[in-house]
Structure 1
Amino acid sequence: MPRDTPGPSLTQSAYENLRADLLACRLRPGERLKINELCAALSVSLGAVREALSRLTSEGLVIAEPQRGFRVAPISATELRDLTEVRIEVEARCLRRAIEAGSVEWETAIVGAHHLMTRLPEREPDDPGRVNEDWASAHTAFHRALVAGCGSPWLLRLRETLYAQSERYRRLSVPLSGGGRDVGGEHRAIMEATLARDADRACALLARHFEVTTLILLEAPTLDGED
């Protein structure tokens, strides 16, 4: 039975599980979140779920509506365009700083993160329309490694927030992208330019990498009528 008073570990567990479901779009944009059902599914108390949802609201992944409860933050073409533009600006700033100041250890971590990502299939073998969760974790680690030498905790925190918001859109783009996109080639080119300390090329490739995902979604019916 769920406990009445949530302990830190229960609240953290509820938060992590819900956040993972939101980023993976297992909880769909705009979906109403029924607290009692979430309590049962996560085997935690009402208090733990409410605290977790409050944290996710502060991150912009959940919306709290007075007298109506919580729902998953919606998506829209307008938000996607704005998010992509801001993300490119912030991520490029982080990457430039990392290229200027990054150490040999930073370079080694990038190579290691890229190597792990290439050893995992991007999509589930039994369900090509769904992202392989192990690859998704490695993908997050690779992009984080690229900017880890940035040296600005505030920039990196802002970058993490933008990454999380973008991840929902990226997940939705996977079944729409077909087999024509060479994601592995995009990542390899970004890594090579970064290790060569070619900031202009690395940032241009990174921007294009984000823009392709955005274009896939904007050209699909997924966001129609949501401007």
Structure 2
Amino acid sequence: MSAIPQPKSSLTQSAYERLKGDLLACRLEPDERLNISELCGALGVSLGAVREALSRLTSEGLVVAEPQRGFRVASISEDELRDLYRTRIEIEALCLRRAIEVGSLRWESNLVAAYHSLSRTPEAAPGHPAHVGDEWLQRHADFHEALVSGGDSPWLMRLRTQLFQQSQRYRRLSVSLAKTKRNVDKEHRELMEAVLARDADRAVALMRDHLQLTTKILLAASRA
């Protein structure tokens, strides 16, 4: 029996998800040219599916479309890093305040569970003690999403997700654990406790400090 062909939409979604994963993990490096024919072969999808996926990623700021030249991975720079984190701080603050205002008991429970999972996950990559591990990065993303997921604004959450994903590219490229001196678990625990206490001002201040310290570390790493 011959295999049932996948719908075009499924193939496009698959290409989009795989490319996005490679971009966020920096397996596709900043400014790297994206050869559509090579991507078709690697992903096992059509030219149209790859083009549609790249167009979606362009709208998210992860890929740049250049007239007559095709697509490339979006650049990174110190100026963009500063702008990205300044903007992220403001959006995270709005999301956090709204979540604290309207979040449910289930949201609180999910936040505690996300923190527990993060705190029990080793930060270092297996076999590479100087580098952050993929599992920790995923648990870290889950925790930060849990902090704000009690809100009720899809627009704010979409903006926040895009900013967070862009910031992950810098973290992947720059940070070596050996060069970071911070008690990140304490920062996360204090953030969680302020949120559970429904203390919006303290939670926002802690989030601001947390992200500003991350910015400082990333800038220092980029200059090393």
Q: TM-score w.r.t. structure 1 length?
A: 0.89
Match of 2:3 in 1: none
Share of identical aligned residues, percent? Answer: 63
Deviations 1:35-94 (A, max 9, x none): 222222222222221111110001010000111111110011111111111111111011
Match of 1:181 in 2: 182
Determine the C-alpha separation between the residues in 2 that align with 1:130 and 1:42: 28
Shift of 1:177: 5.8
User: CA, structure 1 residues 181+173, in 2 after alignment: closer, same or farther (shift >3 Å)?
Assistant: farther
**Structure 2 unaligned spans of 5+:** 1-5
Shift of 1:7: 1.3
Match of 1:104 in 2: 105
> Is it true that 1:119 corresponds to 2:120 in the alignment?
yes
Which amino acid in the other structure matches residue 48 of structure 2?
G
Match of 2:217 in 1: 216
Match of 1:10 in 2: 11
Which amino acid in the other structure matches residue 57 of structure 1?
T
Residues 98 and 151 in structure 1, CA contact (< 8 A), matched pair in contact too: yes
Residues 128 and 175 in structure 1, CA contact (< 8 A), matched pair in contact too: no
Determine the C-alpha separation between the residues in 2 that align with 1:121 and 1:12: 32
Match of 2:138 in 1: 137
Shift of 1:223: 5.9
Match of 2:169 in 1: 168
| Other structure's SS at 2:95 match | helix
- Deviation larger for 124-133 or 18-27: 124-133
Match of 2:42 in 1: 41
Determine the C-alpha separation between the residues in 2 that align with 1:86 and 1:128: 32
Determine the C-alpha separation between the residues in 2 that align with 1:29 and 1:223: 16
Determine the C-alpha separation between the residues in 2 that align with 1:62 and 1:16: 13
Which amino acid in the other structure matches residue 167 of structure 2?
S
Residues 98 and 150 in structure 1, CA contact (< 8 A), matched pair in contact too: yes
Determine the C-alpha separation between the residues in 2 that align with 1:179 and 1:223: 14
Aligned residues, how many? 220
Determine the C-alpha separation between the residues in 2 that align with 1:55 and 1:209: 31
Match of 2:199 in 1: 198
Q: What CA RMSD, in Å, does the superposition of the two structures yield over aligned residues? A: 2.0
User: CA, structure 1 residues 101+107, in 2 after alignment: closer, same or farther (shift >3 Å)?
Assistant: same
Determine the C-alpha separation between the residues in 2 that align with 1:177 and 1:75: 23
Q: Point out 4+ residue stretches in structure 1 off by more than 6 angstroms.
A: none
Residues 76 and 223 in structure 1, CA contact (< 8 A), matched pair in contact too: no
| Other structure's SS at 2:175 match | helix
Determine the C-alpha separation between the residues in 2 that align with 1:137 and 1:28: 20
Q: TM-score w.r.t. structure 2 length?
A: 0.90
User: CA, structure 1 residues 215+177, in 2 after alignment: closer, same or farther (shift >3 Å)?
Assistant: farther
Match of 1:153 in 2: 154
Residues 29 and 73 in structure 1, CA contact (< 8 A), matched pair in contact too: yes
Determine the C-alpha separation between the residues in 2 that align with 1:197 and 1:136: 26
Determine the C-alpha separation between the residues in 2 that align with 1:22 and 1:155: 23
User: CA, structure 1 residues 41+131, in 2 after alignment: closer, same or farther (shift >3 Å)?
Assistant: farther
Determine the C-alpha separation between the residues in 1 that align with 2:203 and 2:107: 16
| Other structure's SS at 2:179 match | coil
User: CA, structure 1 residues 213+150, in 2 after alignment: closer, same or farther (shift >3 Å)?
Assistant: same
Match of 1:77 in 2: 78
Determine the C-alpha separation between the residues in 2 that align with 1:167 and 1:107: 25
